[in-house]
Structure 1
Amino acid sequence: MSIDENIKYATEVVARDPMAVFLGIRAEEVRHAYARLSLHIRPEYLNALDRAHGMSISCLADQAVAVASNTTEYQTLIVELKINFLGAVSPGDTITAEASSLDLKRKLSLWQVEVKDSAGNRVAMAQALAYHRPRK
């Protein structure tokens, strides 16, 4: 597949997987080895302290790296996601996650994901490891 076909696959298939659609995750920008996705924090995404649950932030980070990594010549599976939560997110806010490649090898790649709130404050940083297999 060409780079354009890989980007189309990542945008039209990976970014629209059932969980992403269920949560309302939207692809804002997708290009080779990069993706920016967003998620509006609905009341059902809150924790007991009335802030975005870490699960919702983690899901967005995971989806961003899945989309970004699948723009490459490989079909990828995320095998590890490490996340640090740096700030709280209020209900009704929209968060964005930007995923980009730190190291892209034949079998594995390392990705960085930065999650920000609508004011541009960093609320989480994540690293992900992706395993590659040839596209079918």
Structure 2
Amino acid sequence: MPFSKLMGVKVTSAGKDKIEAEIEVRADLCTTGGIMHGGAIMAFADAVGAIGASLNLPDGAKGTTTIESKSNFLGAAPEGEVVESVTVPIKVGKRLSVWQTVIKRKNGQQVAMVTQTQLVL
């Protein structure tokens, strides 16, 4: 996933039921005030949700694509910190899967909760 690589997403563990990843909050991922941009947070969550969906594809599927994403921004992630994500399936079906990603700072403070729906292609 070239864009995820560009952002610096590092997957630390991946299985059908849970994906864990982290990303360093760099200046180029920030908005005013040196905090992680909402779009960067959403892109991070989208990347790890897509990994979960891909790991759960049924036989013969060509891939997956995000068809819906909802983000709740719960706190700021300042430049220089590493934020961690945990992504779990809410439902995995034959045509759709729904994933929830919680992003936190190392001190446990929540940054965001993102729920997305992935379509099986």
CA RMSD, Structure 1 to Structure 2 (Å)? 1.1
Runs of 4+ in 1 over 6 A off after TM superposition: none
**C-alpha displacement of 1:128:** 0.4
Return the letter of the residue paired with 1:101: P
Residue 40 of structure 1 pairs with residue 27 of structure 2:
no
Question: Please, which runs of 5 or more residues in structure 1 have no aligned partner?
Answer: 1-16
Structure 2 CA distance for aligned equivalents of residues 55 and 119 of structure 1:
22
Cα pair 1:64 1:99 within 8 Å, conserved: yes
Sequence identity, in percent? 23
Structure 2 CA distance for aligned equivalents of residues 124 and 71 of structure 1:
23
SS in 1 for 2:35: coil
User: If the length of structure 1 is used for normalisation, what is the TM-score?
Assistant: 0.81
Partner of 2:99: 111
Question: Please, which runs of 5 or more residues in structure 2 have no aligned partner?
Answer: none
- Equivalence map 1:81-120=2 (5 Å): 81-120=69-108
Q: Which has the higher helix share?
A: 1
Give the number of equivalent residue pairs: 117
Structure 1 CA distance for aligned equivalents of residues 97 and 57 of structure 2:
12
- Equivalence map 1:58-77=2 (5 Å): 58-74=42-58, 75-77=63-65
Partner of 1:51: 35
SS in 2 for 1:21: helix
